[in-house]
């Protein structure tokens, strides 16, 4: 079963709780929270404070995507704020294995994220440590960008790598996901879909979630 994780990056921040409740009513699986520091990516969003406030307003599992340098410095704060799943970028971690272990020790589910240009070989030796691999399908930093088709081959290769090792790990795709690209990603092997503008940019949020779900169930 494919999971849907709306990214609040494209939500109306003045009505955040309301917008989160709308996707929750629509039956999504996770809430995807994009944390950006202005260093690792050229944009700044929000930190643990906003996540903690949202935690009071939602039952959804929080899928926190850390696009920050040295994420190990903030893991405790994000877990305390209510993160269930934490993705750290391989490009941002000096000691990736240790960082993933720390996430687990803190009681959250560890995931590793890769930029489009980063090869799968960079995570080969930490696969046993993670619950999910996040493959960026755009260069991180902004919502509303175009899906990079070259990542399709990478999804296929990752799926094969996991199957060969008998590893039951989710493959999440993030960036430029809409009804059309979602189907391509799922056919390639992805099973968690992040969507920002396709959901929060729509007039009818619940309809946008239904459309996305139907697009991959055909």
Binding site for Zn ion (CB under 5 A): 34, 65, 174
Residue 118 contacts ligand DX5 per CB under 6 A: no
User: What is the x/- site pattern for ligand DX5, positions 26-65, by CB under 6 A?
Assistant: ------x-x------------------------------x
20 backbone dihedrals φ, ψ, rounded to 5°: -65, -40
Residue 102 contacts ligand DX5 per CB under 6 A: no
Q: CA-CA distance, 158 to 137, in Å (whole number)? A: 14
Residue 115 contacts ligand DX5 per CB under 6 A: no
The CA–CA distances, whole Å, from 93 to 67, 75, 170, 173 equal: 11, 12, 21, 20
Catalytic-labelled residue, pool 29, 34, 37, 131 = 34
- Tell me how far, at minimum, the Cβ of 199 lies from ligand DX5, in Å: 8
**Residue 174 falls in the annotated catalytic set:** yes
Contact positions with ligand DX5 (CB under 6 A) in 178-207: 194-198
- Tell me how far, at minimum, the Cβ of 164 lies from ligand DX5, in Å: 28
- Tell me how far, at minimum, the Cβ of 111 lies from ligand DX5, in Å: 13
Chain centre distance of CA 73: 20
**Residue 34 falls in the annotated catalytic set:** yes
- Tell me how far, at minimum, the Cβ of 143 lies from ligand DX5, in Å: 4
Contact positions with ligand DX5 (CB under 6 A) in 134-173: 138, 140-141, 143-145
Annotated binding-site members for substrate: 7, 65, 141-144, 174-176, 196-197
The closest of 34, 35, 25, 110 to 60, measured between CA atoms, is: 25
Q: CA-CA distance, 101 to 116, in Å (whole number)? A: 24
Stretch that binds ligand DX5, among 88-96, 124-132, 175-183, 206-214 (CB under 6 A): 175-183
Q: CA-CA distance, 181 to 210, in Å (whole number)? A: 15
Question: Among all residues, which ones are annotated catalytic?
Answer: 34, 174
Residues that bind ligand DX5 (CB under 6 A): 7, 9-10, 32, 34, 65, 138, 140-141, 143-145, 174-177, 194-198
């Amino acid at each position: 079963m494919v999971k849907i994780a709306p990214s609040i990056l494209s939500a109306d921040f003045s009505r955040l709780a309301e917008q989160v409740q709308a996707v929750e009513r629509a039956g999504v699986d996770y809430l995807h929270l994009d944390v950006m520091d202005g260093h690792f990516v050229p944009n700044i969003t929000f930190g643990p404070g906003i996540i903690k406030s949202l935690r009071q307003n939602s039952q959804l599992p929080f899928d926190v995507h850390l696009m920050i340098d040295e994420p190990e410095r903030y893991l405790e704060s994000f877990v305390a704020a209510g993160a269930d799943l934490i993705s750290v970028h391989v490009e941002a971690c000096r000691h990736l294995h240790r960082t993933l272990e720390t996430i687990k020790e803190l009681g959250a589910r560890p995931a590793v994220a890769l930029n489009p240009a980063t090869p799968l070989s960079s995570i080969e030796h930490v696969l046993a440590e993670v619950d999910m691999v996040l493959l960026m399908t755009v260069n991180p930093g902004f919502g509303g960008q175009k899906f990079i088709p070259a990542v399709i081959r990478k999804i296929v290769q990752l799926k094969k790598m996991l199957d060969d090792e008998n590893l039951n790990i989710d493959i999440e795709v993030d960036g430029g996901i809409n009804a059309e690209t979602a189907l391509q990603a799922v056919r390639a092997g992805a099973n968690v879909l992040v969507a920002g503008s396709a959901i929060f940019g729509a007039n009818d949020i619940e309809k946008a979630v239904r459309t996305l779900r139907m697009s991959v169930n055909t």
